[in-house]
Amino acid sequence: MQLSFFSLYCYICNGSGILLNAILLFLSSHKSIETIRELRYFLSNIAVSGIAFAASLLVLQPQVVTRGTMTIRVVHGPAQYLTENAVKAIGCVTVISYMYALLSFPLFFIYRSMILANSNMFGQYFTKNTLMVTLVIVFVLCCTESVFLYYSSIPYADLLDRANRTTSIVEEFENSTLLLNQHLRNMDINSQHPVTNVSSGVIQSAEELSGKRHLSLFGDDHSRNPLILIFHGILVICHVLSYLIILVCAHFMLRTLKTRQGTMSKDTMLENELLVHSVFAVAFIPLLLSAPVGANAVLVTVYENSLKWQEFLPTYCMSMVPVLSALYTIVFIGPYRDAIISFATLKFLKKNQNDTRKNDDDS
């Protein structure tokens, strides 16, 4: 029952994340924000990474099991039917998309701080061209981080052996396979037409096909392959640096806006402050949701044995990142919120009808 609820949660949550980030991508691509025009470039990049992150989590639906120094990731999503290397590659996509969004926010705050400061010394470096180059560098760094995860994996046989000896995962998988076989057998009996596969000239029954199912696992052991320690170290450093940079830059931006009260209107001032607070809140979503995941990782490392609820906690928390990030962005950034409200209330159609009537009256 727990796995079925877990899968349902992953499909609903990550599916919503894909949809919301697709909407955000469309809005950021077609609607500019006059107050902070460069924000649309960051939001477009973050929306793309959100789609990739949600899609990869939806496909994987990982259960993270810790036994001693070994971490076993059990795949419950559609990726369980793929090869081991394909599953690890999807895991790398998850890391790349998450890290890219995580590092894009501090980059935006640094860039915007320099623009507000109007510094002659740094102004020549913070241009749109250098911004694009910096985003490419960030992407390469994220890919490098994912390489550490990919090559930190240990053989499948070792993971399966540990899972079989210390958990009930293998037994649960075998039971579900038996139930599937029984279901297919009943279907064959009722229909009197066995399900077959004639590819490669070989005819196989439904039972033989279901027998090819295997428990999809990938994982690591820091006592055997220390690359995973480098991976986690970089991950922690990136989270801490992102937190500090966003905090310092947001404070600096608000102070700079206050010192410029005399040079801008009150409405412009309030709009800038609202945008800073909005982006600040969105930037902290992955940091806040990763906190319980990090605390959970420390606990299972210390006790060297994860409880059932701890194995599902990382996916439960991280699946909310693309949903809340996109939702908060759409709700709290005025132009995007107005566009959604206009679409939902069909206000744009009424406006077009009024314009058409006005043109007819003029003619």
For residue 67, the SS3 value is strand
Cβ atoms 216, 72 nearer than 8 A: no
Helix (H) or strand (E) holding 78: none
Q: Which pLDDT band, with edges at 50, 70 and 90, does 354 fall under?
A: low
Give 217's strand partners. Answer: 74
Q: What percent of the chain has pLDDT over 70?
A: 77
**Cβ atoms of residues 286 and 102 within 8 Å:** yes
pLDDT tens column, 187-244: 656 655 544 444 444 444 444 444 456 788 999 998 888 999 999 999 999 999 999 9
Higher pLDDT, 199 or 91: 91
288-336 pLDDT, tens per residue?
A: 999 999 999 999 988 888 888 999 999 999 999 999 999 998 888 877 8
Mean pLDDT for the chain overall? 81
pTM for the complete prediction? 0.83
Output the CA–CA distances (angstroms, integers) from residue 10 to 1, 14, 165, 306, in the order listed: 14, 6, 28, 21
pLDDT at res. 1? 42
Domain ranges within the chain, ordered by starting residue: 2-165+214-340
Looking at 1.10.1740.10, 3.30.565.40, 3.20.20.100, 1.20.1070.10, the CATH number of the domain 2-165+214-340 comes to 1.20.1070.10
pLDDT at 43: 87
% of the chain at pLDDT higher than 90? 36
Q: Which of 317, 295, 316, 319 is nearest to 306 (CA)?
A: 295
Statement: residue 127 has pLDDT above 80: no
Q: Could you tell me which residues come within 8 angstroms of residue 31 by beta carbon, excluding any fewer than 6 positions away?
A: 40, 335, 336, 339
